[in-house]
C-alpha cells in the first residue's frame, strides 16, 4: 500500500512540473494566451509562480528567474515528502 502512495505522490509532482514547464513555454506565445488550454494552465500554475515572483522579481524587468526557484522548491518538497512517506512504510 505504501509503495502505491509513494508512486502516486511522485506522479502528481511530475505532472505538476510538466504543467509548470508548459505554462512557461506558452507564456512566450502571446497568440495562445486566450486558448482554453493556456487558461487552464494559468489557473493551476500562476498562483504558485506568482508566489516566487514576489520573492524574486524579474531582473531588469525582463529576465524572470522565479520559475527556476519554483522548480527547485517543488523538487525539494517532493524529496522531503517522499522520504517521509518511505519512513512510514
Task: Give the closest residue to 20 by CA, choosing from 48, 59, 1, 39.
Answer: 48
Q: Which three cell numbers stand for residue 48?
A: 504558485
pTM of the predicted model as reported, rounded to 2 decimal places? 0.89
Report CA-CA distances (Å) from 46 to 22, 27, 38.
12, 11, 11
- Give me the tens of pLDDT residue by residue for the chain, a chain 89 residues long: 688 999 999 999 999 999 999 999 999 998 999 999 999 999 999 999 999 999 988 888 778 899 999 999 999 999 999 999 998 87
Three-class DSSP category at 4: helix
Helix or strand or coil: residue 62?
A: coil
Amino acid at each position: 500500500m505504501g509503495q502505491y502512495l509513494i508512486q502516486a505522490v511522485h506522479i502528481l509532482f511530475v505532472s505538476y512540473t510538466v504543467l509548470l514547464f508548459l505554462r512557461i513555454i506558452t507564456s512566450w506565445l502571446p497568440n495562445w494566451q486566450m486558448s482554453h488550454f493556456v487558461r487552464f494552465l494559468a489557473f493551476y500554475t500562476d498562483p504558485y509562480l506568482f508566489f516566487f515572483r514576489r520573492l524574486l522579481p524579474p531582473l531588469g524587468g525582463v529576465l524572470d528567474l522565479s520559475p527556476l526557484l519554483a522548480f527547485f522548491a517543488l523538487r525539494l518538497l517532493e524529496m522531503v515528502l517522499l522520504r517521509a512517506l518511505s519512513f512510514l512504510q
